[in-house]
Amino acid sequence: MIAVAGGKGGSGKTTTTLGLARALSRRGAPVVAADADWDLPNLARLAAETRPEGPTENAEAPTESGAEGPSVGAGCRADGAAARTVLDAVRGTEPVRPGRSAPTVLAAPDSSRSVDAGATFDALDAMTPEGAPVLLDSPAGASPDVAAPLRAADRALIATPLRRAALRDAAKTAAIARRLDCPPVGAVVIGETSVPDRVATLLGCPVLGAIPDGGGAPLSDPGVRRAYDGLASRLAETAAASRWQIA
């Protein structure tokens, strides 16, 4: 389980979680991407709004007959109802069953303040098949809510723009992740095509990717897609991904 974390809101965490999840799916991995930012949840909405052509992302929503089946897209069921949430997944009688053609995207719970986030993420990890990558779209910065996904995850992926203030905050987030026994596996720089060597030194972890600015719809940009494919490839070569089922 990898927590996608960043220094502040707008650092590119949600886009990176979804872009990386889709890139891993293109490599044949059965991926789960879950919204762990319960105060500002937008992962399922972004997935629904940017649904790619071809196989739809599966929120494992029930069909009218009651059987499990694919939804129209992550964040919206075939009947137009709300997306399956992280809490729905861990309370289900069946384990999470991600497919290999598109990631399973899980939304935040509807009444998040009444839910134990740490226990929920731990349960999600237990309910997910061994070898399936799980990505948590984490809260920004050093808020108390960021601790739950970092404690549950094995490693962190730090997403940051290449701005001085953002890099400073990202370094703080990386330090918090280490204190919570979730050391960064690497960093991804958003809105750039190249990264100075000193960024890795500042964050204390390798830079695994640079994602170019894709404008208002970055996940539709071919260059952004290629960059996330490269990030997925480099992440798959790390020790953090040694048990993942990747083609």
Residue 21 CB contacts under 8 Å (≥ 6 apart), including other chains: 31, 32, 33, 103, 105, 133, 135
Helix (H, G, I), strand (E, B) or coil at 52: coil
Residue 87 CB contacts under 8 Å (≥ 6 apart), including other chains: 109, 115, 120
- Strands lying side by side in the sheet with 184-190: 104-106, 32-35, 134-140, 2-6, 155-161, 184-190, 207-211
Range of the domain at 138: 2-241
The values of phi and psi at residue 171, to 5°, are -65, -35
Altogether, the residues listed in the chain come to a count of: 247
Residue 16 lies in a domain: yes
- List, for residues 47-105, the tens digit of each pLDDT value: 999 987 544 465 443 332 233 333 333 344 433 446 889 999 998 867 788 988 899 99
**CB-CB contact of 57 with 34 (8 Å):** no
**pLDDT value of position 46:** 95
Residue 183 lies in a domain: yes
pLDDT at 205 over 60: yes
Residue 174 lies in a domain: yes
Residue 229 lies in a domain: yes
Mean pLDDT over each residue of the chain, to the nearest integer: 86
Residue 150 CB contacts under 8 Å (≥ 6 apart), including other chains: 3, 5, 138, 156, 176, 177, 180, 182
Strand 2-6 to 104-106 pairing: unpaired
**pLDDT value of position 80:** 41
CATH number at residue 105: 3.40.50.300
Residue 246 lies in a domain: no
Residue 172 lies in a domain: yes
Residue 247 lies in a domain: no
Residue 61 CB contacts under 8 Å (≥ 6 apart), including other chains: 69, 70, 71, 77, 78, 81, 83, 84
**pLDDT value of position 52:** 74
Tokens of 38: 């319960």
Mean pLDDT of 13-34: 96
Helix (H, G, I), strand (E, B) or coil at 179: helix
**pLDDT value of position 57:** 60
pLDDT at 212 over 90: yes
**pLDDT value of position 223:** 96
Reported pTM: 0.88
**pLDDT value of position 137:** 97
- Total tally of structural domains belonging to the chain: 1
Helix (H, G, I), strand (E, B) or coil at 196: coil
- List, for residues 104-149, the tens digit of each pLDDT value: 999 999 888 889 999 999 999 999 999 999 999 999 876 778 899 9
Residue 65 lies in a domain: yes
Alpha carbon of residue 36 to chain centroid: 9
**pLDDT value of position 60:** 45
> What is the DSSP-derived secondary structure letter of residue 239?
G
